[in-house]
Amino acid sequence: MLPLLLLRLLLLLLLLLLLLLLLKCESAELLSSERLQQQSAPATKVSCPQEHSKTAVCASFVRISVSKCWLLGILLLLTVAISWPAETVAAPRRARGVDLILPHRHHPRPLHHHQHIRSAKSNIVPLRTNQTQGRDSCGAIRMTTNISHLQLAHEVASNTREAVLCLTKEWLRSQQHNLSGEIQAYSKHSMAVKHPLQSEVEKVSFQKELDDFVYDGKVTTVEEEMPAIIESLLVLEHLYEIIEFDHMSWNCYFNSFVSFFHHNMHEALKLAGLNDACNPRTSEYNAHYIHPVFGAAVETIKVLTIIEHKYAQLIHLYSQSAGQS
């Protein structure tokens, strides 16, 4: 490190010496030229001091050749380059591409531009869920299904899904954004919430022309589908407990989402023939998701879209079975 510093200092001194030598030669040339002009000028000519000063200055600029100007510029650039601190870069945010994944500063609400270009590095952390002593895990619940309650459960899922979608759009409008634009902006990011419906959430797509989410997956039976539905709703409820909402967003919009979870849970438990909820497994999520409030809203819409679809398909399935019998 020390020899490199000494070498830089020596080169800097050498360049400065060359610069001074060049300037000295230029001054000598200018002085010689001015004396020659004074000797050849008529003795009777008189000029005022201001005019003589202007003429001398203009003449000095003209006499500097183009090649010397280039040489001065190159010497100056070399001097700056050598004296530049080591391991530094100009415009660090843009040079490293950090502006693509970090929020812009000095703005009342952090705006994350160009998020679709690059995905921020994930940080998957545990999402703790409440465990009630004496309750079965959701994967081991014993159900006595009540098929007659399927239609009501479907209506609740459909209505709450529409309410969540509407509130999310209203919230985005209050932030001067829209659903389609935000979906595009965060298309390379995932909140990666772990629950039994996670693989199906990845298959839910957003259709821009409808400004809505669509899903078309397969279903099996009520006995197989209900544990996954109940556990996923419980995980979402816990997700909303760890996200930090601002006062307006929580009270005007997202506080209602928790009520929607409870309503859907109530109907799902009735459909499964259960009196109490089950214990969900410990979940996890991406703590580095760049906009967790929006991510939670989208996750909620997608899960409710899946649940509504499953209920609709189960109604159709059991209606066909009843007709055949």
**Residue 262 pLDDT greater than 70, yes or no:** yes
Name the DSSP class of 137.
Answer: B
Q: What's the helix, strand, coil split of the chain in %, to 5? A: 60, 5, 35
pLDDT at 322: 74
CA–CA–CA angle 259, 263, 265 (5° rounding): 115
Under the banding of pLDDT at 50, 70 and 90, the label for residue 142 is: confident
Q: What percent of the chain has pLDDT over 70?
A: 64
Under the banding of pLDDT at 50, 70 and 90, the label for residue 146 is: confident
Under the banding of pLDDT at 50, 70 and 90, the label for residue 220 is: very high
Over residues 86-129, the pLDDT tens digits come to 544 444 433 434 444 444 433 334 444 444 445 568 999 999 99
Lookup result for tokens 């952390």: 125
Bridge partners of residue 206, in order along the sequence: 213
Angstrom distance (rounded) from CA 214 to CA 206: 6
Q: Find the mean pLDDT for residues 52-60.
A: 44
263's enclosing H/E stretch is helix 255-272
**Residue 167 pLDDT greater than 90, yes or no:** yes
Q: How far apart are the first and last CA of the chain?
A: 88
Angstrom distance (rounded) from CA 137 to CA 135: 7
pTM confidence score = 0.66
Bridge partners of residue 279, in order along the sequence: 137
Angstrom distance (rounded) from CA 236 to CA 306: 14
Angstrom distance (rounded) from CA 239 to CA 129: 9
Nearest to 287 by CA among 316, 235, 244, 258: 244
What is the rounded average pLDDT for all residues in the chain? 79
Q: Find the mean pLDDT for residues 224-235.
A: 96
- The answer to whether 286 touches 127, Cβ cutoff 8 Å, is no
